[in-house]
Chain A
Amino acid sequence: MTHTTSHVGHRRWLGHGVRGIRGPSRETRIAWLFLAPALLLLVASRLLPMVLAFIASFTVNQPGGKGTSFGLGNYEFMASYEPFFESLGTTAILVAIAVPLQLGLALVMALVLARPFRGAGLMRTVVILPLVVPAAVAASLWGIMLRPDGPVNGVLSALGLPRQPFLTSPDQALFAIIGIASWAIVGYWMTILIAGLNDIPHEVKEAAAIDGAGRWVQFRRITLPLLRRPINFILVFSTVAAFLTFAPSQILTKGGPAGSTNVVMMEVYSQYYVNYDIGLASAELTLLLVILAGLVALQFRLLGRGD
């Protein structure tokens, strides 16, 4: 497809026909008018900050508050700044655990709760409830629950199990954060999967059952392939959400113990809002955006195959 035909195609899509030199048709103008608020918001709240961060990432403060210069200084510092790469590593572990965990849990719950049974509605509500709790409130609640002298340890003790340090141990804190973040979001993923399950035509399953397909075969050959779209959506969005995990770390552990929950957003936040090192924070953010864009593109490519 050449550039010219693509351009014409674009015009045709917006305006139902090429009007030549007379300018855009009425429909085209109306279409742009309707799109304008969303596009403006997108530019102002997403693209503009990205561009500003990208520019700021090349702005280097001079020692002693003597103005700024333009260059690669922030990137050079970042390349030798270990805590940043450690935070990327921590985030990678978090993503690698949180994404399959959340998808798996959401799928199991969707399969159970999509069936009509007594109390199914109530159960679904309970699972979705964490969604309406603000992240900061949820983190504070879990902070008290998981305290070494808190209720969860009280229950463990009562059951004769050893008390756990949870958020105060470098070996457990990240898992606690993953648990808290997953608790908050898994109900949302489940809702999407239930909608997907309800979209699967009954006839298909009935036909398969008549042909002698068992439950497992039906799940593997019918349910899973037909859930492909909602699963793709969840994979992409849970990856991004996990990558950008921030509230539980900031509120509960400040990135500790021993940096074990210092996820990349904590690192960027600290540089920007605590150290006021806007250049370094912007350089870190730029690299983060590149990584995320690459990851999402890769996911789309892998998951789009055969669609």
Chain B
Amino acid sequence: MFLSDASWTADFGSHGTALDLTDTAYGVAAKAAPPASTALPASILDTATYEGRLIAAPLWISYQALLYNKDLLEQAGIPFPSSDPTSSITFEELFELAQQAQAAGAKYGLCWDQPDQYYARQPMIESAGGGSGLTGPDYLTPDVTNEGWVKGLTYYQDVFAQGLCPQGVPNGQMDPIWNAGDVAFYIAQAPVQGTVDATDFRYGVAPVPGFADGRPVSPSGSHGIAVNPNSPNTEAAIDFLTFASLTPAGGMAATELINQPVLPAATTARLNANIKADPRLQGLSQIVKYTVDNLSVARPPSPKYNTFELATTKAIMDIRNGADVTATLADLQEDLQQLLSR
């Protein structure tokens, strides 16, 4: 068995690297109709499926939520955003509120915990109508210069250009800035992994934002377990997958490592335990459920996803640090055309 991130689904699926789990005991249980205690949401199974074949047992989920620092918002006279999962704030409103919070003394108005990663920016671009950036039957045709891409990433660049978030801070170094109480609004990936536990200020949770003329969108897909098709012990492997991915006990055990369990029942139990430990996360349970069921988009299921992601992540990094949006995306389009033709 081996861990298979959602970014590898199409690569492993197209190369036969992983056993097809569709018709195994695991696949049947995972795809059972919703009242069944083992049923996984379709949006989660999609992230591990390539051309109709289930190639990994999802273990964890990914999603985004908006955190806000209550002290900084109060200081600026900004009402707290609603925690109703169906009423997301818009990016346009968020920009103005972030400026307002900064004017009232917050060091930074609006930041993201994974500032460069493509898959963490994909939701914003999708919300702007840009699509995933890959089209065509095998998702090997780049489409990163359309209006939605320009709109989404221009907004992103403006946030940094206006000083609402510091430029040049890499992945993994944003959390300490939020934890220090310096950020008014913070869009975070699965924000209950201990990263925010270190804070001692008051904060709240709201659903992920979207553009005014689009819909709010969240990323999805995390690591799962795949099985080596040449393994002599596939039956034992499938028993293990069923335990780890489809039982509350397996789900809870998985969360001792990272993130949120994939099984809704285990997710709810874990979230409730978190919320009990930290009442600031009130409302997160409903937000996660609604986000996973209704707002999540999968990464484009391209066998060349990782090539696409690296090139795109670099372009996002450049744009965040001030490179011209249209020119950078045009270069990216050209590079991708060449790389994906291989």
Q: Does B94 contact A (CB under 8 A)?
A: no
Contact in complex: B169, A275 (CB < 8 Å): no
CB proximity of A93 to chain B, nearest CB, Å: 19
Q: Does A116 contact B (CB under 8 A)?
A: no
- Given A275-B307, A275-B342, A257-B335 contact (CB < 8 Å): no
B310 contact set on A, CB distance < 8 A? 254, 270, 274-275
B313 contact set on A, CB distance < 8 A? 254
CB proximity of B299 to chain A, nearest CB, Å: 15
B168 interface neighbour in A81, A83, A165, A275, Cβ under 8 Å: A165
Contact in complex: A149, B14 (CB < 8 Å): no
Q: Does A147 contact B (CB under 8 A)?
A: yes
Q: Does B170 contact A (CB under 8 A)?
A: yes
Q: Does A219 contact B (CB under 8 A)?
A: no
Contact in complex: A258, B342 (CB < 8 Å): no
- Given A65-B14, A274-B310, A149-B166 contact (CB < 8 Å): yes
A275 contact set on B, CB distance < 8 A? 304, 306-307, 310, 339, 342
Contact in complex: B323, A258 (CB < 8 Å): yes
- Quick check: which of B56-64, B230-238, B314-322 contacts chain A, the rest being far away? B314-322
- Given A81-B338, A275-B306, A258-B328 contact (CB < 8 Å): yes
Q: Does B135 contact A (CB under 8 A)?
A: no
Q: Does B199 contact A (CB under 8 A)?
A: no
Cα A170 to Cα B314 in complex, Å, equals: 13
Contact in complex: B167, A254 (CB < 8 Å): no
Contact in complex: B15, A65 (CB < 8 Å): yes
B306 contact set on A, CB distance < 8 A? 274-276
CB proximity of B56 to chain A, nearest CB, Å: 18
A61 interface neighbour in B11, B322, B342, Cβ under 8 Å: B342
CB proximity of B336 to chain A, nearest CB, Å: 11
Contact in complex: B168, A256 (CB < 8 Å): no
Contact in complex: A257, B317 (CB < 8 Å): yes
B335 interface neighbour in A83, A165, A276, Cβ under 8 Å: A83
A254 interface neighbour in B169, B307, B317, B338, Cβ under 8 Å: B317
CB proximity of B43 to chain A, nearest CB, Å: 27
Cα A147 to Cα B173 in complex, Å, equals: 10
A65 contact set on B, CB distance < 8 A? 14-15, 303
Interface residues on A, range: 20 to 34
Contact in complex: A277, B321 (CB < 8 Å): no
A167 contact set on B, CB distance < 8 A? 168
Q: Does A143 contact B (CB under 8 A)?
A: yes
Contact in complex: B170, A258 (CB < 8 Å): no
Interface readout for B167-210 with A: 1 if CB under 8 Å, 0 if not? Answer: 11110010000000000000000000000000000000000000
Closest residue to A150 on the B side, CB-wise? Answer: B168
B307 interface neighbour in A81, A144, A257, A274, Cβ under 8 Å: A274
Q: Does A232 contact B (CB under 8 A)?
A: no
Q: Does A148 contact B (CB under 8 A)?
A: yes
Closest residue to A83 on the B side, CB-wise? Answer: B335
Q: Does A223 contact B (CB under 8 A)?
A: no
Contact in complex: B321, A257 (CB < 8 Å): yes
B-contacting residues, A81-120, CB 8 Å: 81, 83
CB proximity of B295 to chain A, nearest CB, Å: 29
Cα A147 to Cα B303 in complex, Å, equals: 35
B-contacting residues, A109-148, CB 8 Å: 143-144, 147-148
CB proximity of B283 to chain A, nearest CB, Å: 32
Closest residue to A277 on the B side, CB-wise? Answer: B342
Q: Does A25 contact B (CB under 8 A)?
A: no
B314 interface neighbour in A144, A147, A255, A277, Cβ under 8 Å: A255
Interface readout for B297-333 with A: 1 if CB under 8 Å, 0 if not? Answer: 0000001101100100110011001110000100000
Cα A165 to Cα B166 in complex, Å, equals: 11
CB proximity of B73 to chain A, nearest CB, Å: 22
B304 contact set on A, CB distance < 8 A? 275
Q: Does A28 contact B (CB under 8 A)?
A: no
Interface readout for A160-176 with B: 1 if CB under 8 Å, 0 if not? Answer: 00000111111000000
Contact in complex: A256, B339 (CB < 8 Å): no
Cα A274 to Cα B342 in complex, Å, equals: 13
Contact in complex: A256, B14 (CB < 8 Å): no
Contact in complex: A256, B342 (CB < 8 Å): no
Closest residue to A153 on the B side, CB-wise? Answer: B168
Cα A289 to Cα B338 in complex, Å, equals: 25
Interface readout for B1-26 with A: 1 if CB under 8 Å, 0 if not? Answer: 00000000001001100000000000
Closest residue to A149 on the B side, CB-wise? Answer: B166
Contact in complex: B14, A254 (CB < 8 Å): no
Cα A259 to Cα B168 in complex, Å, equals: 15
User: Interface of B with A (CB < 8 Å)?
Assistant: 11, 14-15, 166-170, 173, 303-304, 306-307, 310, 313-314, 317-318, 321-323, 328, 335, 338-339, 342
A-B contact pairs, 20 of them (CB 8 A): A65-B303, A81-B338, A147-B166, A148-B167, A148-B168, A148-B169, A168-B168, A254-B314, A254-B317, A255-B314, A256-B314, A256-B317, A257-B323, A258-B318, A258-B328, A259-B314, A274-B306, A275-B306, A275-B342, A280-B342
Q: Can you list the 7 inter-chain pairs with the closest CB atoms, starting with the nearest? A: A168-B168, A168-B321, A148-B168, A149-B166, A275-B307, A274-B310, A257-B318
User: Interface of A with B (CB < 8 Å)?
Assistant: 61, 65, 77, 81, 83, 143-144, 147-149, 165-170, 252, 254-259, 270, 274-277, 280
Besides A252-B170, A255-B314, A270-B310, 5 new A-B residue pairs in contact (Cβ under 8 A), listed by A number: A65-B14, A167-B168, A256-B317, A257-B323, A276-B306
